[in-house]
Structure formats: structure tokens, C-alpha cells
Structure 1
Amino acid sequence: MAQLRYLNPEDLDPADRDVLVRPVNLYRAMANAPGIARAFLGLANEIRHRSRLDPRLREIAILRIAWLTRSAYEWSHHVKIGRDFGVTDSDVALAMDPATATGAEGAVLRAATGIAEGDGTLPEATLAGLRGHLAEDALTELLLIAALYVGLARFIRAAAIEVEPDYEPELHAFPLPAG
């Protein structure tokens, strides 16, 4: 059960209803703090539509973080969202088990793993691998996006945000391990 109230547009001051542009549970919970929700939505929009990082690589990184943090909400949403950015079933499988990942995908998955696990420090070899595939702006965005999604996964867990029925099929197609 969610630990924050899910708000609807009628629960908000008319000036704050824009934070429910997508009435998903995450935004409905964030709407309890409309100023921060609006700022988060601006950042999310920037990431999704204006980032220099290849969107498929971005989604693979987010999926790896969702997998490692066991965030059913992030996982289900980004399996579905990732399809719009070219993510395939094979890409989802790599996010689950990146042992065979090579090239840009392998470098991005190693970085996402490093940021999500331990203290977030990345070995120089991981950074060098990224630099072989990404320009400095895209590399910077990857590190920021990965750190943001680790934090978002923790917020989702703390607030016990529930997966909406429209996203549950993704959990059945690609279930997260228990734990």
C-alpha cells in the first residue's frame, strides 16, 4: 500500500494541475509536493526528449538500475517506455544479465551497475570504456541519469508506489527476482 496519497487533478490547486500531465502513480504521489514535482518533470522531460545520450542506451541503463534495485515500478515502466526508444527483448535480457554485453551496451551496463551498487565509484577502466563510445556530454548525462534513477528507485520504495495495471504485463513478461 502506498505510503503517500495519490492525488487527482481535483485535489490540487488549479495552478498545480500541470504536474499530473501523466496521471501515473509516481506523479500522483509526487503531486503532494507540487514545486518539486514540477522540477522533476522538467528534468524528466529534458532527459527523455533533449538528452544527447542515445535514448536506447539511456533506457538500457535505467533498466539495469531498476533490475539491481528491484524497483518493480521503474522496471515495468521502462520496459514499456523503452520500446518507444528501440529497446528489444534482447536488450531487456542484457539489462537482467549483462555478462555477454559488449560495445556501447556493455560499457553503459557496467557503468549503471557500478553506480547502482556499492558506493557508486566507477573504476577508470569503466570510464575509459564509456569514453570509447560516448562524447563527454553524453557521458556526463549517463552518469547523472544513472544516479537520478538510483535515487528515484529509493523514493519509489520508501513511498511504496504501486505499479499500475497497464504496466503489470511487463512484470509478467520479464519478472524481477524476489528480494
Structure 2
Amino acid sequence: VLSVIRELKGSPSFYMNPISQYLKLGEKGLDINSVNLEDFEGPIKDFIKEREFIFNLRATLMRHKDLFLRWGLFANQVFVHSDIPRREKEIIILRIAWLSQSEYEWEHHVAGSKQAKLFSDDVINRIKQGPDAEGWDSFDASLVRAVDELYAKNCMSDSTWKILSGRFKTNQLIEILFIVGYYNLLALTMNSLGAQVEGMYKTNQK
């Protein structure tokens, strides 16, 4: 358990620090005063007490202690330690968030992408439109198409795999499958549990 908490604490600041800090916005997620610390114990309790606030995602998943700890490691691997460059990774995440109607993940990753200056509004709109939108190059269109294929058929086509393999190594291609699967899982979880988007994010899903 302690090693998991250390792993979570070791994440880059853009992932773990209060989102209001790097966006310079006042609104926050679930204040720790709204969380009953008596519901938690040990390292998780300490983890909560150290934060100014808790993302609603984490506050929800913390209700299942063992799952939360193991989920945190998987989430770090998929998002923080992935071998896929962040720009391409965010294209994947935003497309599956859009397809799966995950308002929570869409809002968070649009904000994060804009903060990192990865995309213009035109590219964000292109992600919504899909692989046939005007303006994509062949590789980016294939990246978006891969997400569409995995979402619709649970399988990436050979032709899409071949195009992506022109730039990505095998381990990166495998990561695409896990990123899409992870964020699709997160979408159905957050949609079903009704976790609300923190106030400062409610501007991007239109």
C-alpha cells in the first residue's frame, strides 16, 4: 500500500497538483471538509489530508479502497508513464472521451491540453468530427480512426495498424489499445456513478 501511495505522490505536478493551481482558477472539486476521513484509514487517509481538495473522480473511487490503490498505478502507467508522446496520447483520450460521452474526462483533458498548448480550438473540433475531418494528416487521421475502430468493433483494422506502425513501435501500438480501453472503462464508470465535473471545467463539452 505504501509503495502505491509513493507512486501516486511521485506523479508530475500537472497530474497530481490541485487543478485550480495551474489553471489559476478559484473553483475546486470536492473539498476535503466534505469527505468523512473516518471512512478511510492508513496511507489513504494521509493522502487525503495532504491535499487541498480531491478530484471528484478520486473521491468517488476512494469508496473502494483496494480498487482505488490498484487503479492509481494503472492510471499512472497509462497517462504519466506511457511511451506515446503527449500530443498523440491526448488525441486518443479526447476521441474516446467524446465517443463514450464522458463529460468528465472530456472537460479535464481539453483543459489540460489547452494548458499545455497542445491543440487549437480547430483541432479540438476536428477530434469531435472524427478521422474524416478536413485538416488531419494521414497519421493523425489514422490515430483517430484507430479509436473509432476499437470503440465500434473492439479491434483495430490491419490497415490502420500498418499506418500507425510507420511511426510507432510495437509497445506504443499496444499502449493505444490500453489507453482506449482504460478511458472507455473510466467513462462507463463515471457516467454510471454520476460523478460531477468540477465547476471550472463546465465550458468545453458543446
CA distance in 2 between partners of 1:112 and 1:19 (Å): 34
Secondary structure of the structure 2 residue equivalent to 1:170: coil
Per-residue CA distance 1:40-93 (angstroms, 9 max, x = gap): 122222223221101111111111111111111111111112234423323211
Mapped partners of 1:104, 1:41: distance in 2: 31
The TM-score with structure 2 as length reference comes to 0.73
Please report the TM-score for the alignment, with normalisation by the length of structure 1: 0.83
Rounded to whole Å, the distance in 1 between the matches of 2:122 and 2:83 is: 23
Residues 60 and 91, structure 1, Cα contact 8 Å, conserved in 2: no
* % identical equivalent positions: 23
- Whether contact under 8 Å (2:107, 2:197) holds in the other structure is yes
The amino acid that maps onto 2:168 is L
2:106 aligned counterpart, secondary structure: helix
Q: Which runs of 5+ in 2 are unaligned?
A: 1-31
2:142 is aligned with what amino acid? Answer: A
Counterpart residue number, 1:46: 77
Structure 1 runs of 4+ off > 6 angstroms? none
The residue type equivalent to 1:53 in the other structure is I
More displaced stretch, 54-63 vs 8-17 = 8-17
For 2:91, the equivalent position in structure 1 comes to 60
Tell me how large the CA RMSD over aligned residues is: 2.1
Q: Which structure is richer in relative contact order (CA contacts within 8 A, separation 6 or more)?
A: 1
Query: Unaligned regions of 5+ residues in structure 1, if any?
Result: 1-5
Alignment of 1:14-25 (within 5 A): 14-17=42-45, 18=47, 23-25=54-56
Distance 2:187 2:83 in 1: 23
- Shift in alpha-carbon separation, 1:9–1:57, aligned structure 2, 3 A: farther
1:87, 1:141 → 2: CA distance?
22
Higher Rg:
2
- Note the C-alpha offset of 1:104: 2.5
